[in-house]
Structure 1
Amino acid sequence: MPTYTIHITNHAVERFNERVRPALSPEAAGEELGRVALAGKVTKVPPPWHVNNCMELAPFYLEVADVLLPLRPHWTEPDVLVATTCIPRGSFSQDARRHRTARKQDAAATRRSRVR
């Protein structure tokens, strides 16, 4: 695989701060995520735990232990990948969470209609 530069978005830092290191200040979380990313592995194949809980697959991933950064190619720089968010193992994406909630609500409504 070629060498890439990883650009970490503010959104990815916010999610890392919120989901992985909530005790850190936003600035410290950004610095730590930058250091953690250096130990990561870029791959095109998402880990199985992510595939089961996501609504959309990314073209690339930066995987560091139980933290996953979905990566998209930069729109003008072909050797730059952009980390769009931060997903820790065991969490759901917002889309997957909405889908799961809707499915549970539909199932509950079906059960209620059978009781009547």
Structure 2
Amino acid sequence: MPDTELKGTADQTLVHETDFDPESGQSAVVTLIDALTTVQDADHDEITPIGTVVDGDSMETLVERYPDSAPQPLQIKATVDGWDVTIRSDGVVRIYDAQATSDSTQSAESTVS
């Protein structure tokens, strides 16, 4: 069963959200790359190549083949250039500030100890 928890609802800061249409063949990978360049105000050649973090072909296949009838969309999560990214099979790409997540986790851990 896929991870259906909506990461970012409580412990992350959403900095960018965009979408793609998996039904029309729009690429999840290209959408992710475009979103990362937007967030970082960078050119495509200035960001970490996605292929060094995730297998782009496998990600595309998972997104394309995940059944629309599933109760929750498939979520693929990774960290790229210090950003937590989530690509969903329903065509949503979200980018979160990984540093804010790390800071809140450290803060929560220090409160618990």
Higher relative contact order (CA 8 A, sep 6+): 2
TM-score range relative to shorter protein: 0.3 to 0.5
* TM-score of the pair, normalised by structure 2: 0.34
Computing the radius of gyration from Cα coordinates, the structure with the larger value is 1
